[in-house]
Amino acid sequence: MQSRWSDQEARVFVERYAEAGEDLALRVYTSRLIGQDEDLVLHGGGNTSVKTTVRDITGDDLDVVCVKGSGWNLATIEPAGIPALQLEPLRRLLALDGMTDEVMVNQVRRQLLDVSAPNPSVEALLHASLPHKFVDHTHADAILILSNQPNGEQLLREALGDDVVILPWVMPGFPLAKDVAAAHAANPDCRAIVLLNHGIFTFADDARASYEAMIEFVDRAERSLNEKAPRIAAGSPECPDDVAAIAAQATPIVRGAIAAETGSTSYARRVLEFRTADDLRALTARDDCASLMKQGPLTPDHSLRTKATYLWVDRETATDRDAFRAAVDIYVADYRAYFDAHKGDEAMLDPHPNVVVIEGVGVIGAGADKKAATIAADIAEHTVRGKAQGADLGEYVALPPAQLFEMEYWSLQLAKLGKQQPPRLAGQVAYVTGAAGAIGHGIAEELLAAGAHVFLVDIDQNGLDRVAGLLGERFSPSMVGTAAVDVTDAAAVDASFDACALQFGGVDCLVPNAGVAHVSTLRDMNPADFQRVVDINLGGTMTVLRAAAKTFEQQDTGGSIVLQASKNVFSPGASFGAYSASKAGAHQLGKIAALELAPLGVRVNMVNADAVFGKGVSSKLWDEVGPDRMKSRGLDEQGLRDYYKERSMLKCEVTPAHVGAAVVFFAEASTPTTGATLPVDAGVPGAFPR
């Protein structure tokens, strides 16, 4: 590991954050250097501080310690994420013999200069206890791998030298702050303090020295570790070549099996993140991988995101729905036994695995959304590599279950997850065809607003990219996937479902929305034009229904299909025969799907929309038929919009968001409804379902 300090970059930060002061500006700079190195910290892990002086509103100078705030990531931290606390009152707290976590949090928060600031790190007292200006703390992989050995202290001493204090595991918070303060008082010349199974603290009176001390000691640990047990960096003969195909087959099975039932027909679904790097494939094929995955994590801090143990399965089990569910049942039973053996008055967390490891294929992280799944996968990647290297070093030994449980169910740890009510479609994945047009965009936007992830499909790559970009700006790019697909090509549709499975894990809500129009009387109809409309509107609906049925069967957690039909199903128009007939056929397919998929718990409903023009993203249907309609009625574009608005019973414009809201209603499955048709047309009597 090498220092990435740059005098030029440091000056940029000092200038950028001049209002915050040089000390805090440099603290932000070196915090980011640490946070951007995954071998040091992952996703909000680690913490940093700086002691400085600030002037209060009365003009008095106050000695403060600025400590990383909860919820901030070191990789992207800003000055607001390192709030200032009065230093001396914190230090006086260390004279107490004991303190509950709740009292500690309250006492620490009382010392904030800004009452609106985030809660400081649970290690705030520890940072305050050390005399140095800058303090850095990481969960460096190499330190943890050496630590998780029967002779971990000896290995660390050999690697790091004599100017480091090594302490045994103790719960973070007040107990750890007391131990670190005592250790430093007894060894005032030490340059670092290592906490077994936890991480390392370095400190100095300037930012660069503290940061580079961290790099120096972690580099020593890495060199010692790699000398004794070099990392595996390539694949092996045991790894299959068709890893993508296996992963695409496995993900819906995995996703369905780890979804927790929340009712007789409802599930807490999760999104997946699959990692298949060559070295991971090799490591997951090792003979000892299954037993290593049953061991605890590199640091118990990770258990919040990944649980203490992972589920390892062979390839055959991963691609067999019944066999994999049996493996999950065993994992759940083991977790319940672990919980029962150590519980107090805690409520049990979801007992299903957060990480699944497939022999020779890779690692899957699961979470309530793509961000959480990515965090779990990132931690799992480092853990699989670290455990294997630890096993090659000697014997990988994690903390015992009682201490892992204490950390996993620690109230201050659980607080990081928050207590917000999950969105209506949390964990759901929706597959939307015709996504590059106005209605497709509106449907996707409403699904995302309700908490779903969306996989957008359209034959128009440019339009698809534009819609995905708009949605990514409003929500998160990680929640949006795309595939340019001709829905009349069954093989291409199947491949897109595989792509969706690889990106998110599967599909819960299918929205067949792709459609084209053609204006012609039957007398003048070109059979080729008629067939093209039927192929897309009817045949394209069939291909996605067919592919979705297979995914729903593998997941076995129900789901929804919301077929975007048309007002023309019940109220066709002259010179619109190809469109009206093909949409009526698609509508009928929806009813057939409702009959066939009910045993799987899949609800199939139809939305009949009319006169949806769109804004920002144009309607492809109206782009095609609008000019003819405007010409025949002697209207411009706004006049045509007004015509359809006034034609309706409710005298209001129908927007893509209205269609999207109807899709969300059905996807939420708040009523036991299937085979229904919901008009979204502002009231057209001739189109009343009958």
Confidence tier at 235 by pLDDT (50, 70, 90): low
Token pair listed for 125 = 């007292």
Q: How many residues does the chain have?
A: 690
Beta-bridged to residue 273, according to DSSP, are 365
pLDDT of residue 253 exceeding 80 = yes
C-alpha dihedral sign at 565, 586, 502, 334: positive
What pLDDT does residue 233 have?
61
Residue 183 has pLDDT above 90, yes or no: yes
Residue with tokens 């006034």: 646
Residue showing tokens 């039932």: 261
**Upper half-sphere CA count for residue 144 (Cβ side, 13 Å):** 27
pLDDT at 94 over 90: yes
Quickly list DSSP for 649-662: SS---B-HHHHHHH
| Domain annotation for the chain: domains and CATH numbers | 7-228 (3.40.225.10), 243-413 (3.40.225.10), 429-687 (3.40.50.720)
pTM of the model: 0.93
Rounded Cα distance, 147 and 396, in Å:
9
Percent of the chain with pLDDT over 70: 97
Q: What is the pLDDT of residues 617-633, one digit of tens each?
A: 877 676 676 566 666 67
The rounded distance, in Å, linking the Cα atoms of 587 and 545 is 12
Collapse the DSSP code of 663 into the 3-class scheme (helix H, G, I; strand E, B; otherwise coil) and give the result: helix
Per-residue pLDDT tens over the stretch 546-557 = 999 999 999 999
- Cβ–Cβ < 8 Å for 91, 129: yes
Q: What percent of the chain has pLDDT over 90?
A: 87
Residue 420 near residue 255 (C-beta atoms within 8 A): no
pLDDT 10s digits, 412-447: 888 766 667 889 999 999 999 999 999 999 999 999
| pLDDT at residue 634, rounded to an integer | 74
pLDDT of amino acid 486: 98
Spell 109-140 as b/e; 16+ CB within 10 A means b: bebbeeeebbbbbbbbbbbbbbebbbbbbbbb
Amino acid, res. 656: P
Confidence at residue 292, expressed as pLDDT on a 0 to 100 scale: 97
